[in-house]
Amino acid sequence: MIRPRPPLSDRVAVVGIGETRYTRHGGSERSEFDLCCEAVLRAAEDAGIEPTEIDGFCSFANERQEPVVLQQALGMPELSFSNIVWGAGGGGASGAVMNAALALHAGLCNYVVVYRSICQGQFERFGHYRVRPWGSQWMAPYGLMSPAQMVALTFRRYLHEQDATADHLAEVAMVCREHAQRNPRAVYYGRPLTLEQYQASRLIADPFRAADCCLETDGACALILTTRDRARDLRTQPVRVLAAAQASGPGWGQGPMGSHNMPLEDYASVNSRLLASKLFTMADLTPQDIDVAQIYDAFTGIVTMALEDFGLCPRGTAPAFIAAGGLRWPDGALPTNTSGGLLSESYLQGLNLVIEGVRQMRGESTAQVTGAHTCLVTSGGANAHKSALILAAEGA
């Protein structure tokens, strides 16, 4: 008789996190590879292991630093597993953590690094128009030249369906900026955002203003996972991966970043309802059991729709929940993006949100939620490739 293995939460934990200094695009004089190595070394130091003990790498979103090259640079004697989430952009961040957890669950590795390095100052800027492999050249004649314009269509439909205004978006932007004022790692640390400044920021794609759009940054970050048995002997408090999932609804293709052929009932969403169902079933939790959230915030409107897709707010109520201060630390009902998020900390295509989730579960965040035991992390905006995690404090 084959006995099923225990769930991920009983076997896998995050034990190390590492980040470089984050700068605006063009702010780093070091190579992207150098930054990547620094992030991995910092994560190993945080975990209390030698880099030579690492034997697996997972990444996503066309990461340029290949595992075999990192293996040589870090002096690793063996590389037992390497993996990248296909395409996905920011939708692959939690998926890369899931792949690392699966490798450990299968007994393939001892320590797996999940990493992302981006130097938009040395390569392309994601917010600029470029011909993309999934056919952006066919959208350009219709004025869809940037991600902001593409996502604005789905959010504008959401506002129409819910008979809502975009006024609450200012609160999303200001909350993330306020949380960043407590986080010295944030690019916008020391630069608060007032309502007047938000309203004065230029319009990019109605209703998104410049302050509604995420940062374009240089930097790298990494985290290390291992088995919970091994984690007990390390220096840091392990953080359980309670659930990890990937899912996409029917007809999305490349979603608003491409086809716009999604079913009408899913169009005004972030394509996460199926994902949320899988995730909470795996964790044996409900959305009401979540203490703190790190929601992918490439654009403020994504946060609104994600709150409803993941069941954190009933359909049509997220604007009022946000406007009432529901995302704020420390008194909001669901403190969200407590490091500043992609809007105000850094844009590492969402992996820095996972790292902030780990900090919250360790009790080490600069905007620590008192008594937080569970953290939802979502990856990806209004696109086809989506993934998410639920992290839990050890002992929770």
Distance CA(94)–CA(279), nearest Å, equals: 11
Distance CA(244)–CA(145), nearest Å, equals: 33
Distance CA(256)–CA(273), nearest Å, equals: 16
Residue 129 bears catalytic tag: no
Residue 142 bears catalytic tag: no
List 111, 158, 267, 347, catalytic entry: 347
Distance CA(337)–CA(236), nearest Å, equals: 23
Please name every residue paired with 84 in a beta bridge, in sequence order, or none if there are none: 59
Question: Which DSSP symbol is given to 334?
Answer: S
Three-state secondary structure call for residue 210: helix
Question: Which DSSP symbol is given to 104?
Answer: H
Task: Find the angle CA(293)-CA(218)-CA(357) to the nearest 5 degrees.
Answer: 15
Distance CA(296)–CA(160), nearest Å, equals: 22
Distance CA(241)–CA(114), nearest Å, equals: 13
Tokens of 172: 């999303």
Distance CA(20)–CA(38), nearest Å, equals: 7
Task: Find the angle CA(246)-CA(247)-CA(253) to the nearest 5 degrees.
Answer: 125
Q: Which of 34, 35, 52 is nearest to 44 (CA)?
A: 52
Q: Which of 171, 173, 62, 47 is nearest to 113 (CA)?
A: 47
Q: Which active-site residues does the annotation give?
A: 296, 347
